[in-house]
Chain A
């Protein structure tokens, strides 16, 4: 009987410990934000602060794009993009009426990015200037973001990328994430390191350099103007008058890249 006594007491104690633990857990979860603040662990992700008040946006004029691929080359040079990857990729599109045009696809920098939503560790995040970045120190290489991206804008370093001396000399940062690392996901980031200094992204400059008057425009949504480096056009008015559209608008991802249709009028 002594044994049964002990059994019951220990069960009661067990229940007390469990319920106490659950209660403590619930309370600390509720208070966690305050606790983090007290111990100086900011709940807001400081990586998400761009430090400048901009809302970057890109407009690609499909009527002007001739499919030369200079944008891809310019991008790859700028970021030492690993071989086999194209952060802005030019697709040849052909519809059943025989019309042919080229469609350059950078990262859409969605306002509602499916990739950010699914990342298990917050390695990919959207900054307050609308740019979606990847923290290559944090990425675990699960590739869920690649599965989730409706635009196939992401690439993976399947092996250790071939490095150049210049790339290896560079110090890694979030905006300039090279030397590139094996086992992590890569993509276009609107040349955040250039736009910070008031320069246009590499693809925009490469396009304009090739064509004289480029097909890719870039600017700040709040200024309502975009530029290809030669001419600056009003954003809302152009999109309205020339039937601007976004890729897979129906998905609700709200891309920050607009297209102007292949043949104007």
Chain B
């Protein structure tokens, strides 16, 4: 029965009490979202002419944001699914945080191709006339699969928590609707528990290849064209690693925020930051390795087009962003995460923020310079994003934070039953030697 589960008041308190600060933050975020909506309305009225896009650089901020948010969505998969499959016990307090990032980020990301469309009124054509030969269709299929799978994967472990909350707390009609929806028939008997564990275990295995496919296919939108900088086989793995990299960084930032705001110091400890920080470091190094492979291959062969593109990145108009990202987003975090003295919570969170900023610029540098590079003998394309694009971009980040904040008010952001289960069952796997303890 549900009664053998108890809820830690610390975890339930965010659902019961909301401070004025929370409302202020949500209000500010909502205003940013409204400005972005106004930007989009302007764009709907006047066409994409209100953006800085043009015939040479026909994809810009919107597509960069799309790639970035799909990347962020990989947080949930890795942390939750891979750690679950590998039975890493320390994952328990952070799985839900990670999984909810996934769902919210996919929803935000999926909006961008539609915002970028010249004729959003014809979205239905993708279903009526979809051609499976087009990488955009691959994207549609894999993103919808990923979204569906992620929602299931997020919802399953919420069932026992919903049962506790439903049985023991009165939290208003809206939340009770969710709890009832999830846990109406949950009694917590052995068979149900077994089925749930099995379902979660299966979803964890299924979701990993789906997640890998998503960012691979996003990279193939670019990789399948014949353009300089895009047409390379490394793009699939490059995007996947970059995605997990930025996903972990986002999760670390979320952990720091929730820990502080909801007083979760007991659950989210230095150990969690350090373990994830080391994962972040590993992915950072892999990404540096991939970048070197990509750029060196292009530079050494020095085909005319490749040289032009590399010059634009390294010494031309994009040099500041390029070197800024490489040093600030890749190298500096590697040192911060690598050195014991800076592998503290503030050090790790600063690295995570640097990584996220770096990865956003990296996405921009993937999309724009290649588009700007001349294909026929003429001048470089110029792209100067307008307020419409910036406002929609800001709105997407604010919307992400807002949805995340609201989610944390509907469900406990730490999975109560999983943490409890972890505490009750003595870990079968002994902690590896040298593991950092909080």
Interface residues, chain A, with chain B CB atoms under 8 Å away: 3-4, 7, 84-85, 91-93, 103, 105, 114, 117-123, 138-144, 146-152, 154-160, 182-185, 247, 251
Contact = CB atoms under 8 A, between A and B. Distances in A.
A103 B222 CA distance: 28
B47 A120 contact: no
B435 interface: no
Given A3-B189, A247-B376, 6 more contacts: A7-B192, A114-B225, A119-B134, A120-B130, A138-B122, A158-B47
Contact of A117 (B113, B116, B133): B133
Contacts of B224: 118, 148
23 contacts: A7-B191, A7-B195, A118-B135, A118-B224, A120-B134, A120-B137, A121-B126, A121-B130, A122-B131, A140-B125, A141-B118, A142-B116, A144-B221, A147-B222, A148-B224, A152-B374, A155-B55, A157-B47, A158-B48, A158-B51, A159-B47, A183-B118, A185-B118
A152 B376 contact: yes
B135 A159 contact: no
A125 B222 CA distance: 21
B226 interface: yes
Contacts of A84: 55
CB-CB nearest 9 A-B residue pairs: A141-B118, A183-B118, A159-B49, A120-B136, A158-B49, A120-B134, A159-B47, A183-B119, A121-B129
A118 B118 contact: no
Contacts of B178: none
B397 interface: no
How would you classify the secondary structure of chain B's contact residues: helix, strand, loop or mixed? loop
A93 B47 contact: no
Contacts of B56: 152
B302 interface: no
B47 A160 contact: yes
Contacts of A121: 125-126, 128-131
Interface string B38-69: 00000000111101011110110000000000
A183 B47 CA distance: 7
A144 B134 contact: yes
A142 B377 contact: no
Given A118-B134, A118-B225, A156-B55, A141 B117 contact: yes
B134 A117 contact: yes
B315 interface: no
Contacts of A149: 375
Nearest to A142: B117
A138 B129 CA distance: 9
A4, A121, A247 — most chain B CB neighbours (10 Å): A121
A170 to B, nearest CB: 21
How would you classify the secondary structure of chain A's contact residues: helix, strand, loop or mixed? loop
Interface of B: 46-49, 51, 53-56, 58-59, 113, 116-119, 122-123, 125-126, 128-131, 133-137, 140, 187, 189, 191-192, 195, 221-222, 224-227, 371, 374-378
Contacts of B221: 144
Given A114-B225, A122-B129, A140-B126, A183 B48 contact: yes
Contacts of A146: 55, 58
Contacts of A140: 117-119, 122-123, 125-126
A144 B377 CA distance: 21
A175 B130 CA distance: 23
A147 B192 CA distance: 51
B129 A143 contact: no
Contacts of B128: 121
Contacts of A182: 47, 118
B136 A144 contact: yes
B53 A158 contact: yes
B242 to A, nearest CB: 20
A264 B51 CA distance: 45
A141 B58 CA distance: 11
Nearest to A94: B377
Contact of B136 (A141, A142, A160): A142
A98 to B, nearest CB: 15
Contacts of B135: 118, 144
B165 to A, nearest CB: 22
Contacts of B122: 138-141
Contacts of B140: 120
A144 B371 CA distance: 11
Given A114-B226, A147-B225, A150-B226, A138 B134 contact: no
A65 to B, nearest CB: 14
Nearest to B191: A4
B154 to A, nearest CB: 21
Contact of A143 (B47, B58, B134): B58
B158 to A, nearest CB: 19
A120 B131 CA distance: 5
Nearest to B113: A142
A148 B227 CA distance: 7
A160 B45 CA distance: 10
A158 B129 CA distance: 23
Contacts of A160: 47
